[in-house]
Structure 1
Amino acid sequence: MAPHGKELSEDLKKRIVALHKDGLGYKKIAKTLKLSCSTVAKTIQRFNWTGSTQNRPRHGRPKKLSARAQRHIQRLSLGNRRMSAASIAAEVEGVGGQPVSAQTIRRTLHQIGLHGCRPRRKPLLKMMHKKARKQFAEDKQTKDMDYWNHVLWSDETKINLFGSDGVKRVWRQPGEEYKDKCVLPTVKHGGGSVMVWGCMSAAGTGELQFIEGTMNANMYCDILKQSMIPSLRRLGRRAVFQHDNDPKHTSKTTTALLKKLRVKVMDWPSMSPDLNPIEHLWGILKRKQEECKVSNIHQLRDVVMEEWKRTPVATCEALVNSMPKRVKAVLENDGGHTKY
């Protein structure tokens, strides 16, 4: 016997009708096809009434929200992207008087292509930052790869002993939240970290230097003389040096030193880490460091230096090759944030 409620195929319905037309009764048809008599009877009666074995259209449960209410929900969510589903439900109920659950709001937003996502963390861009970024992109949009290949990119970053400061996720089953593999170990005072200054170009990684204590303009000038200049010279006379607008980088002491050394410095828009390919190289370095399971600062320094030197030239080259796309993305977003 077929399970209760199971939909019959069109072929099976047509066989029922054909057997009935041949003169067989409900019981014989049911026995032949191993169906219940009621199923056979309903199929034949539906055919006699409608002249077809196909089911009539099913309308289902009517929508709780009207088209007007759905448009109102869409306006609220697009007007305030951080408004929760519960807040939108309360707003809709306050206007229309109709109680709506937060789940209904989520389902409605999903139908129009809106989904709750973790917002990307990006620097705060003011109008002057957007204008500067757009101007930079306009000036550089005609530069070919020969220009970008002669740029020495630089930056500072902090590398933690116990991983990054970002949000971590783990795959786990119910009841596994306290297993060793599913927890993120923490230590008092963060476990320690190191600050590093590094540089790179399309030809590969340059010098990497650890920063002891708080870096000031004088310390930065020492780094430039000891680590930046040797890396810059390897790029030839056409080399251009890039660093951001940190006060130590734009101080009178630093500016005077770079002028004395006759270093060509790229004009750089503030709040633009997405335009600096070395930012992605830091991410690669930190992921490599996390895989090594270091337990103290000395091991951390050794691993960081080793992984930095082992970085393939192809990785640096690929990052620099993305510069035309980065510039184009800034222009397309009118100086705003990009995916990089």
Structure 2
Amino acid sequence: MGSRCVKFGVIALILTGHWKFNMAPHSKELSEDLKKRIVALHKDGLGYKKIAKTLKLSCSTMVKTIQRFNRTGSTQNRPRHGRPKKLSARAQRHIQRLSLGNRRTGAASIAAEVEGVGGQPVSALTIRRTLHQIGLHGCRPRRKPLLKMMHKKARKQFAEDKQTKNMDYWNHVLWSDETKINLFGSVGVKRVWREYKDKCVLPTVKHGGGSVMVWGCVSAASTGELQFIEGTMNANMYCDILKQSMFPSLRRLGRRAVFQHDNDPKHTSKTTTALIKKLRVKVMDWPSMSPDLNPIEHLWGILKRKVEECKVSNIHQLRDVVMEEDSSGNL
């Protein structure tokens, strides 16, 4: 009974981490210069103990070094092959084909399929290591607009039509777009040199804390007046923005001015089309699903970063900061 209690006590100490094994530490491998010096001193007639005392090393190290030299004629260690690979070259090629055939297949699913074909159990960790060796690493997919073939052809046609335009043409283009500016938190991806402290945490609140929608326009000459959008914008509200903000900015660009907006339904509605025709505004043909072609996106990024630096706490402050940044001319 007593011996059984002792065994349970020892196991408990090991599991709780209170039992420490006195294992011999691994000695540091000798450099090649030091090994050659040991061999040279031994050839000069010095014994193991005297060499160990001179170089402040153990006698067993002297013996092993000199015996290796006498046996192999060299002080270098034999190549260490390690454990042989579990997967054959054929299995590795099979894993590569599976991952490239469907890049969303997880390591566990690939491991199960490889085991089903070869009959050899393979862990998900082995699959990941194999994929890392061929340059494939798991990461989050980039989020991009869904482009169909018709969208790709339209974008290509847009590029071909505009590649011959000179700078004088682009200087007369008025770019426009709407964007949402959040009160709390950032829309973009933020990275920190992580440490478990409050300053490395990006706080969030329920429902995002509120936001404002704004419409803006920009040309090579200057930025236009920002317009806040109350509620959901419809075609009538958009027409009011065009008359109040867009048309005055467009007239400043002269007769060759070209207005750009995307293919949002309220932009292409009958009401909007009739107003643009009445104002005699020349509109640029714009391919669908092409937000990345609009240079105003860079301006929105600058505005959002400046707003975030001000650390506003309510919607009224957010509106004031947006108007202040717009009127300051820093955008």
TM-score (norm. length: structure 1): 0.82
Paired position in structure 1 for 2:193:
171
Listed one character per residue, the Cα deviations across residues 56-94 of structure 1 (whole Å, up to 9, x for unaligned) are 222122112111111111111111122222222222222
Correspondence for 1:234: 252
Answer whether contact 1:47 1:53 (CA < 8 A) is retained.
yes
| Cα distance in 2 between the residues matched to 1:295 and 1:63 | 58
CA distance in 2, matches of 1:29, 1:183: 59
Counterparts of 2:249 and 2:135 in 1: how far apart (Å)? 49
Q: How many residues align?
A: 303
8 Å CA contact retained: 2:180, 2:214: yes
Do the aligned partners of 2:154 and 2:287 also contact (CA within 8 Å) in 1?
A: yes
How far is 1:249 from its partner? 0.8
Is the CA contact 1:2–1:34 (under 8 Å) kept in the aligned structure 2? no
Distance 1:97 1:2 in 2: 40
Contact 1:153 1:278 in 2 (8 A): yes
- Asked if 1 retains the 8 angstrom alpha-carbon contact of 2:185 and 2:203, the reply is no
Structure 1 residues 32 and 179: CA distance shift in structure 2, 3 A: closer
Identify the range of structure 1 (9-18 vs 252-261) with the bigger mean alpha-carbon deviation.
Answer: 252-261
Match of 2:103 among 64, 76, 81: 81
| Post-superposition CA distance 1:104-132 (Å, at most 9, x none) | 22221111111122222111111111111
The 3 A distance-change label for structure 1 pair 237 and 10 is same
The Cα shift of 1:260 comes to 2.1
Change (3 A) 1:30 1:149: same
Contact 2:185 2:204 in 1 (8 A): no
CA contact (8 A) 1:2 1:35 kept: no
The Cα shift of 1:164 comes to 3.4
**1:244 Cα shift?**
0.3
Distance 1:88 1:244 in 2: 43
Name the CA distance, whole Å, in 1 between partners of 2:306 and 2:113. 48
Q: Using a 3 Å threshold, how does the CA distance of structure 1 residues 62 and 266 change in structure 2: closer, same or farther?
A: same
SS of the residue corresponding to residue 225 of structure 2 reads strand
Q: Give the number of the structure whose alpha-carbon radius of gyration is greater.
A: 2
Q: 1:58 to 1:300 in 2, by over 3 A?
A: same
Looking at both structures, which has the greater relative contact order when contacts are Cα pairs under 8 Å and sequence separation is at least 6?
Answer: 1
- Following the alignment from structure 1 to structure 2, what is the Cα–Cα distance between the partners of residues 203 and 240? 13
Change (3 A) 1:272 1:65: same
After superposition, what is the alpha-carbon deviation per residue over 1:248-286, rounded to whole angstroms, capped at 9, x for unaligned? Answer: 111122122212222121110000111111122212212
Distance in structure 2 (CA, Å) of the matches to 1:268 and 1:53: 73
Measure, in 2, the Cα distance between the counterparts of 1:145 and 1:76.
Answer: 49
Contact 2:235 2:267 (C-alpha < 8 Å) held by counterparts:
yes
Residue 51 of structure 1 and its aligned partner are, at CA, apart by: 1.5
* Structure 1 segments unaligned to the other structure (5+ residues): 308-340
State the alpha-carbon separation in 1 of the partners of residues 208 and 24 from structure 2. 64
CA drift at 1:168: 5.3
Gaps of 5+ in 2: 1-22, 326-331
SS in 2 for 1:42: helix
2:207 paired residue number: 189
Deviation at 1:137, TM superposition (A): 1.3
Report how far residue 207 of structure 1 moved. Answer: 1.6
Q: Which residue does 2:123 correspond to in 1?
A: 101
Alignment partner of 1:284 is 2:269: no
Structure-2 change in CA distance of 1:2 and 1:20 (3 Å): farther
Q: Return closer, same or farther for 1:11/1:288 CA change in 2, 3 Å cut-off.
A: same
Q: Is this contact kept in 2: 1:29–1:40, CA < 8 A? A: yes
